Amino acid sequence: MTWLDWYNSLSKPAWTPSPSTIGTIWQILYPIILISFGFVFVQYFRGKVLGRVALPFAINLVANLAFTPIQFGLRNLPLAAVDILIVLVTILWAMLVVWRHYRWVALAQIPYLIWVSVASVLQLSITASNWNG
């Protein structure tokens, strides 16, 4: 069964966006993430911010990149739910620690935060509806 067939077979809330809508949202968010996260990492490597500022961005990046293989490769809904919550928490953490250094970076995360908040509720709903733990 393909990943799309598997995903379509899951019980989902009526308000679930289509896979193409989800893809479009990420196409908008990834450039924002690339620019803002890249800026923070460059500032870290230049010694302008401490590791504690870059850390939540790094954790977020790893967790974000891990979601698709967990969700669609492993097809592990509970682990994907934990992963998306890590993404959500690290966005908030990153916004808090970067605020005093580069407010524009914190503000640039708002669309990402909004989408991941929605995606977290969606993932938790899908997990609860389909997990036979």
Say what the pTM is: 0.94
- Residue 81: exposure state from Cβ atoms within 10 A (0-12, 13-18, ≥19): buried
Indicate left, alpha or beta for 75 from its phi (over 0: left) and psi (-120 to 50: alpha).
Answer: left
Residue pLDDT, tens place only, 74-121:
999 999 999 999 999 999 999 999 999 999 999 999 999 999 999 999
pLDDT digits (tens, 9 = 90+) for 38-67: 999 999 999 999 999 999 999 999 999 999
Q: Which of 65, 70, 76, 74 has the alpha carbon at shortest distance from 26?
A: 65
